[in-house]
Chain A
Amino acid sequence: MDMKRDYYEDVQLFKSNVVLFWSAALLLVLFTIPLYTPNYYIYLFNIIMVHIILAVGLNILVGSTGQISLGHAGFFAIGAYGTVLMMTTFQLPFVLAILIAAFIAAFFGFILGLPALRLEGPYLAIVSLGFGLTIMHIIGGMDVFGGRMGVKVPPLDLGIKQLGISWILTTDFQKYYLILITTIIMVVGARNILKTRVGRSFVAIRDSDIAAEVIGVNLTIYKTLAFAVSAFYAGIAGGLFGFVLGFFDPFTFNMILSIIFLVMVVVGGLGTIAGGIMGAALITYLQYDLLKNIAEVPYFGALMVAVSKQWFTVVGLENFSSMAIGLIMIGIIIFEPLGMFGVWIRMKKYWMTWPF
């Protein structure tokens, strides 16, 4: 049922009319969400989509190329600070600013990719971890970045100031559409990357870098490229994230954030686009919404409060959030190594072969 007869069938964006229809329906729902959703959820959706961009980018690196990064909060920070700095100091229009910031992030990604040529596994993890922490402290130590007191984000103006065109997005609704369109472009872009020569080279490196080299994949180029692409995604996500928040400081981009990003990718499913999307959506929703309000969930909330009172310290219930995310991650690794994407594949198979 999933048999491909030629190359073009493999690279098609929509494999069948069914997929096309579903995609159109999904887009329709996404574009109309602000019509019937309270403002608070729009903010949550914005954060989720920003995380989706980042997770999809991180998945290219971690899932498809098989390199690890514990420093993606650093690229995220470069994107956020870079965009704001380009807009305030250099008076660049938003679109140009975020692109430049993302390319700066990509450049740093390339730099971080160089040690990756020699390092593997835990050693690479340590290098990237160091990178993330260093970026946070460098930014915090420089007054041009607002130091440790953070920066206030300028109005999100899509126009070009120099030409007198101004189109300022103020509400979460307006930002929602900007982020949604960006997310779609980035996700489709990621899919295209993975379906081309570049993407296949990434996968070859993941499966065996020696074998990849033997069949003619230039490791130097493709490993650093994977880092650069992934950092570019993080940069774009960071630039948008700054405007979702309106204000941020260096410690917003701490080490825990890098780890949460990795959790998203692992929980969602390594090496697939859909995995990144599902993981980012689930973890962000849990972290920002469900686990914050666990005490107000009917029945279960009361149970948790009682358990917390009985067994935990005064902040036991709040700590439950971290515990839950940890447990989910452990559970996924043990029972469903493909992540949520694996569950999805099985559901799809069941549905397609039903009733057999």
Chain B
Amino acid sequence: MFQKRMVVLWIAVWAVLCLAPAAQAAMPAGFDDNEIRIGQWGPQTGPAAPWGSVARGSKLLFDIVNEEGGIHGRKIKYFIRDDMYNPAQTVAVVKELVERQGVFAFVGGVGSATGMAVRDYLAAKKIAWIGPAAADKDFAFPLNPYLFASYPLYKDEGSILAKYIVEKLKMKKIGILYQNDAYGKDGLEGVKERLATYKMDLVAEIPVEPTEKDMASQVLRLKTAGAETVILYVMPTAAVITMKTAANVGFKPHWVASNTLSDYPLMFKITGGLWEGVITGALAETPDSKSPLMIKYREAAKRLAPEERWGVFYYAGIVFADPIVEALKKVGRNLSTEALLKALNSTKDHQTLGPKVNWTEKQHQGTDSVMIHKCGPNASYIMLQDWTTNDMATWKK
């Protein structure tokens, strides 16, 4: 009995071993005659889920492109993969998309650590990655021929915000509350560099750990330092706790914040209205802007994705993804990765809802511009300053 079973098994094992190599597939191509496959990872669940709308915003753009007939006869097939903001899962989903589904390029992708986990892999596989949805210096510096960054660096934003505070708001005593990591420190660096040109110094620079839940001591230090303006380079939760604590102790400075906090309806709701009057950097036009492109996308969203909220991060997904559509149109029917890279490298003053993007063969940090918005009553957006470049950006020289 056992003998017989063993023989059968032995044959089965060898059959598998002999036949299987034939089944091994090479890495699938990223496109064929009918479709171009594009992927994006993003946290749809887990701690960073509110930023997951970036990936879904890109979907809207590709849906519109497909509705208009695709690009040179090819439709875009778009894959969203949830990585839960966890680098291990990002690697898994990216490998799966590249090696099983066959993806031609990636767009967007929320998170620094998640992006860093796959940066070298994508370059090794010669797959283009356009518009990471995070400002990390390691994305564009040193130059990576396959990676095209279009998110303004926090250092540039900090510099622009500081200039606005000093020149337009005429504030003398500026404090900053920054998260103790690359995000916060880059912002801090930009602010300090700008203030140095006015021979000014911060009255308080206070670090916050990303997970800190009690801001009382930080707020008191800002208050004792007599800060008239406080710049926030922190996560949404920390910002909310800070503002509520400040309100409790009667500390009412001008609040200025980074573009990561520019989702006003969300911030307004979780701060219970305290967010009104806050000035932030901005990645894209205001949601109620009257520009023709904005109207087009807004109307399309109502039709194609009625369940989505027309929020800043949702249409930022369009901003990050649009350059690849433009480049693919430029390339024409004869598609290849080299042709795509060439088209992307000749991107000049390309603008949709975000800043103007320029990429050359030597420079893949596409922009240094932000807008400045202010939160009005009922979480409305007020534009204070149109696209502003950072004249002090060191990386441009």
Residues in B whose Cβ lies below 8 Å from that of A148: 180-182, 210
Is the CB–CB distance between B82 and A318 below 8 Å? yes
Chain A residues with Cβ under 8 A from B307's Cβ?
313-314
* A39 adjacent to B56 (CB under 8 Å): no
Interface centre among B24, B27, B49, B85 (most CB of A within 10 A): B24
B20→A35 contact, CB < 8 A:
yes
Residue in chain B with minimal CB distance to A249 = B113
Q: Is B44 an interface residue (CB 8 A)?
A: yes
Contacts of A314 in B (CB 8 A): 56, 307-308
**Residue of chain A at shortest CB distance from B23:** A36
Q: Kindly state whether residue A288 has any CB partner on chain B within 8 Å.
A: yes
Chain A residue nearest in CB terms to B6 = A21
Taking a contact as CB atoms closer than 8 A, the residue among A247, A256, A292 that contacts B87 in the complex is A247
Known contacts: A149-B181, A249-B113. The answer to whether A36 contacts B20 by CB under 8 A is: yes
How would residues 110 to 135 of chain A score, 1 for a CB under 8 Å from any chain B CB and 0 otherwise? 00000000000000000000000000
B9 pairs with A25, CB closer than 8 A: yes
Residues B21 and A36 in contact, CB atoms below 8 Å apart: yes
Contact string against A for B residues 199-213, beta-carbon threshold 8 Å, 1 for contact and 0 otherwise: 000000000011100
Q: In this assembly, does A216 line the interface, its C-beta being within 8 Å of a C-beta of chain B?
A: no
Q: Does B116 contact A (CB under 8 A)?
A: yes
Q: How far is the CB of A22 from chain B (nearest CB, A)?
A: 8
Residue B121 CB within 8 A of the other chain = yes
CB nearest neighbor in A for B13 = A25
A334: Cβ under 8 A from any B Cβ: no
B249 at the interface (CB under 8 A from A): no
Say whether A248 contacts B13, CB under 8 Å.
no
CB contacts (< 8 Å) of B87 on chain A: these are 150, 245, 247-249, 252
Contacts A25-B13, A150-B116; A315 near B121 (Cβ below 8 A):
no
A313: chain B residues within 8 A (beta carbon): 307
> A326 an interface residue at 8 Å Cβ cutoff?
no
A32 at the interface (CB under 8 A from B): yes
Question: Is the CB of A152 closer than 8 A to any CB of chain B?
Answer: yes
A315–B13 CB distance below 8 A: no
Secondary structure dominating the interface of B: helix
Contacts of A10 in B (CB 8 A): none
Contact between B13 and A28 (Cβ–Cβ < 8 Å)? yes
Contact (Cβ within 8 A) A319 B20: no
A301 adjacent to chain B (CB < 8 Å): no
Report B-chain residues with C-beta under 8 Å of the C-beta of A150.
87, 113, 116
B90-98, B224-232, B281-289, B332-340: which lies at the interface: B90-98
Residues of chain B within 8 A (CB-CB) of A315 are 44-45, 49, 52, 82
- On chain B, the residues within 8 Å of A43 by CB distance are 91-92, 95
Choose among B47, B91, B112 the residue that contacts A149 (Cβ–Cβ < 8 A).
B112
Q: Which residue of A lies closest to B1 (CB)?
A: A354
List chain A residues, Cβ under 8 A from B82.
292, 315, 318, 321
Q: Would you call A8 an interface residue if the criterion is a C-beta within 8 Å of the partner chain's C-beta atoms? A: no
Partner of B181, one of A22, A37, A147, A241: A147
Tell me if A149 and B182 are in contact (CB < 8 A): yes
Q: Does A40 contact B (CB under 8 A)?
A: yes
Which residue from A141, A147, A248, A321 sits with its C-beta under 8 Å from B88?
A248
Taking the complex as formed, is B81 at the interface, i.e. its CB lies under 8 A from any CB of chain A? Answer: yes
Q: Knowing A36-B20, A37-B24, A321-B45 touch, does A47 contact B88 (C-beta < 8 A)?
A: yes
Q: Which residues of B contact A29 (CB under 8 A)?
A: 13, 16-17
Within 8 Å by CB of A292, from B81, B98, B112, lies B81
Name the residue of chain A whose CB is nearest to the CB of B46.
A256
Chain B 49-68: CB-based contact to A (< 8 A → 1; otherwise 0): 10010001000000000000
Q: Is B140 an interface residue (CB 8 A)?
A: no
CA distance A38 to B98 in the complex (A): 11
**Interfacial chain A residues near B92, Cβ < 8 Å:** 43-44, 47, 288-289, 292
Whether A252 pairs with B88 at a CB distance below 8 angstroms is yes
A99 to B88 alpha-carbon distance, docked (Å): 23
A residues within 8 Å of B by Cβ? 18, 21-22, 25, 28-29, 32, 35-40, 43-44, 47, 137, 140-141, 147-150, 152, 241, 245-249, 251-252, 254, 256, 287-289, 292-293, 313-315, 318-319, 321-322
Beyond the given A28-B13, A248-B117, please list 16 additional residue pairs across the A-B interface where CB-CB is below 8 A. Answer: A25-B10, A25-B13, A36-B16, A37-B20, A38-B99, A150-B113, A247-B116, A248-B88, A251-B86, A289-B92, A293-B96, A314-B307, A315-B45, A315-B82, A318-B44, A321-B45
26 contacts between A and B (CB under 8 A): A25-B10, A29-B13, A29-B17, A32-B17, A35-B24, A37-B20, A38-B99, A39-B99, A40-B99, A43-B95, A137-B209, A137-B211, A140-B209, A147-B180, A149-B113, A150-B87, A245-B87, A247-B87, A248-B88, A248-B117, A252-B86, A254-B47, A256-B46, A288-B89, A315-B52, A318-B82
